Amino acid sequence: MVEKRTPIAVSAAIKQVLEHAFPLGSENLDLEDSYGRILAEPIVASTDVPPFNRSPYDGYAIRSADSAGASGENRIGFDVIDHIGAGEVSAKMLNAHEAIRIMTGAQLPDGADAVVMFEQTVETPDAITIRKPFEPLENVSLQGEDVQKGEVVIDSGSFINPGTIALLATFGYSQVLVAKQPVVGILSTGTELLDVGDELVPGKIRNSNGPMIVAQLKRMGFRCKMYGMSIDRLDESFNVVKKAAEETDCLITTGGVSVGDFDFLPAIYKRLGAEVLFNKVAMRPGSVTTVAVANDKYLFGLSGNPSACFTGFELFVRPALLKMMGAGKLFLPHTKAVLGEDFTKANPFTRFIRASYDGETVSPAGFNKSNAVSSIARGNALIVLPGGTRGFHLGDVVDVLLLGAEEGTDKWQL
Ligand SMILES: Nc1nc2c(c(=O)[nH]1)N[C@H]1C(S)=C(S)[C@@H](COP(=O)(O)OP(=O)(O)OC[C@H]3O[C@@H](n4cnc5c(N)ncnc54)[C@H](O)[C@@H]3O)O[C@H]1N2
Ligand code: MOO
Ligand SMILES: [Mg+2]
């Protein structure tokens, strides 16, 4: 008799997966290798930024008091006593009605408290005149105006983006403490599977899930260990899964998780003594997605159907791997958009539709069954329709999850 499985809600399934994330520890990396990693320490400003008062313009540093009363009818003159560019510090001190020719980024000379842009002056070889009064600190970029020494500028668990790199460089981090990345293994199960380079023969198909997951991991900045393909025979599959599970922090298998005669993953989990967190989720595609843990390792049993496999990765594997690294933003970015066409099918479970989103409108990306490959390629988002609904129409506002973003969001909002 076929096994009866009890579906759990998507949000409950995600919660359970995350509760079993095993922390991986941290490692030091050279700054130039740290893009895309997760910070394992908070970044505290070691200096003010900028570290000194400086000129934001090419012009003349003056004492603002000397400019009082300047106007078109009463131009005020300054002797130019020095000339500095960024990186140079003038040894001179400004006295009354003296100016120093100064370039953008140069430290303000002693005595100066304002900068006059070239465009605001009339220049003669050794002097200038101006036609308006300047306030104290006018046109001055102040020490610490961007960041103050001691401030926590980036939290531990943040994604290191190009801006983070700039900030780390600013504070002199030639090395940075980042979370270790999980070792992720991929095994595609199915007697029907051929390698990408193989000729098609009757009854067989090429393995598309394996290469797809490699790319999904790559998009997150991970490499993986490939365990290739295994045919649907219990002993053989068990041996590969056991070995792979020992060698990785997280093993992703595809196929073999449903109730078919050759779906051996349930039996393999049992033989491994793994704790199965769930084997049915109230979602489509991907209802058969199974997640188990054994010896502090994840075993993700993704569906063999390509769209279900893809969705299972994005919904469950992605946040789990991020959580293992202590990341703060675990979830796909969420937005709302206007449905670009009718979608009248009933949704007994929460439905995730591969879709293309243009910033305003979202439309299903073609053939949208669980076994579809084409709509994965054409989509850049997932439309999410709640379970127990039907009859969505062009113009309805729907939930959308965005795929491929560098960084996600910290709340699961659906
Ligand atoms: N009696 C029932 N049958 C099925 C149920 C059910 O509840 N009762 N669930 C269906 C649903 S929903 C899904 S999804 C699939 C899941 O099947 P499995 O995860 O066990 O995967 P397989 O049986 O191994 O394969 C399913 C399908 O996917 C193709 N496949 C597998 N691996 C790959 C790969 N690496 N690349 C490309 N395509 C792959 C495979 O050839 C099959 O067509 O079960 C339903 N059945
Ligand atoms: O798990 Mo299946 O993908 O729901 O269609
Ligand atoms: Mg099956």
Out of 198, 263, 303, 368, give the residue to mutate to test ligand 1, the one with the largest number of ligand atoms within 8 Å of its CB: 303
Whether ipTM tops 0.95, in short, is yes
- 3-class DSSP assignment, residue 105: coil
Evaluate if residue 2 carries a pLDDT over 90.
no
Q: How remote is the CA of residue 297 from the centroid of ligand 3, in Å?
A: 24
The tens digit of pLDDT for each residue in 173-190 reads 999 999 999 999 999 999
pLDDT the model gives residue 356: 98
The tens digit of pLDDT for each residue in 46-75 reads 999 999 999 999 999 999 999 999 999 999
- 3-class DSSP assignment, residue 28: strand
pLDDT the model gives residue 296: 93
Evaluate if residue 25 carries a pLDDT over 90.
yes
Check residues 4 and 339 and name the one with the higher pLDDT.
339
Helix axes 234-247, 265-272, angle to 10 degrees: 60
**Nearest ligand by distance to the CA of 191:** 1
- The answer to pTM > 0.90 is yes
Q: Does ligand 2 lie within 6 Å of residue 311's CB atom?
A: no
The tens digit of pLDDT for each residue in 64-114 reads 999 999 999 999 999 999 999 999 999 999 999 999 999 999 999 999 999
- 3-class DSSP assignment, residue 305: coil
Evaluate if residue 375 carries a pLDDT over 80.
yes
Rounded to the nearest 5°, which phi and psi values hold at 37? -90, 175
Evaluate if residue 138 carries a pLDDT over 90.
yes
- Using DSSP bridges, classify how beta strands 76-84 and 98-102 pair: parallel, antiparallel or unpaired: parallel
Contact of 146 with 138, CB cutoff 8 Å? no
Evaluate if residue 1 carries a pLDDT over 90.
no
**Nearest protein CA to atom 43 of ligand 1, as residue:** 305
The tens digit of pLDDT for each residue in 311-358 reads 999 999 999 999 999 999 999 999 999 999 999 999 999 999 999 999
Alpha-carbon distance of 359 to 356, in angstroms, equals 9
Which residue ranges have their beta carbon within 6 Å of ligand 1? 188, 190, 192-193, 205, 207-210, 254-260, 263, 285, 287-288, 303-306, 308, 370-371
The tens digit of pLDDT for each residue in 281-297 reads 999 999 999 999 999 99
Please provide the average confidence, as pLDDT, over all residues in the chain: 97
Q: What is the DSSP string of 151-218?
A: -EEE-TT-B--HHHHHHHHHTT-SEEEEEPPPPEEEEEE-TTEE-TTSPP-TT-EE--HHHHHHHHHH
pLDDT band at 259 (very low <50, low <70, confident <90, very high): very high
Alpha-carbon distance of 269 to 255, in angstroms, equals 14
pLDDT the model gives residue 3: 85
The tens digit of pLDDT for each residue in 182-230 reads 999 999 999 999 999 999 999 999 999 999 999 999 999 999 999 999 9
**Nearest ligand by distance to the CA of 257:** 1
Q: For residue 346, what are the contacts with CB-CB under 8 A and spacing of at least 6?
A: 389, 390
Q: Domains of the chain by range and CATH? A: 10-24+181-324 (3.40.980.10), 29-49+146-179 (3.90.105.10), 59-130 (2.170.190.11), 334-402 (2.40.340.10)
Q: Does ligand 2 lie within 6 Å of residue 284's CB atom?
A: yes
Evaluate if residue 15 carries a pLDDT over 90.
yes
Q: Does ligand 2 lie within 6 Å of residue 288's CB atom?
A: yes
Evaluate if residue 413 carries a pLDDT over 90.
no
Mean pLDDT of 127-132: 98
Q: How remote is the CA of residue 258 from the centroid of ligand 2, in Å?
A: 9
Q: Does ligand 2 lie within 6 Å of residue 286's CB atom?
A: yes
**Nearest ligand by distance to the CA of 232:** 1
Contact of 403 with 388, CB cutoff 8 Å? no
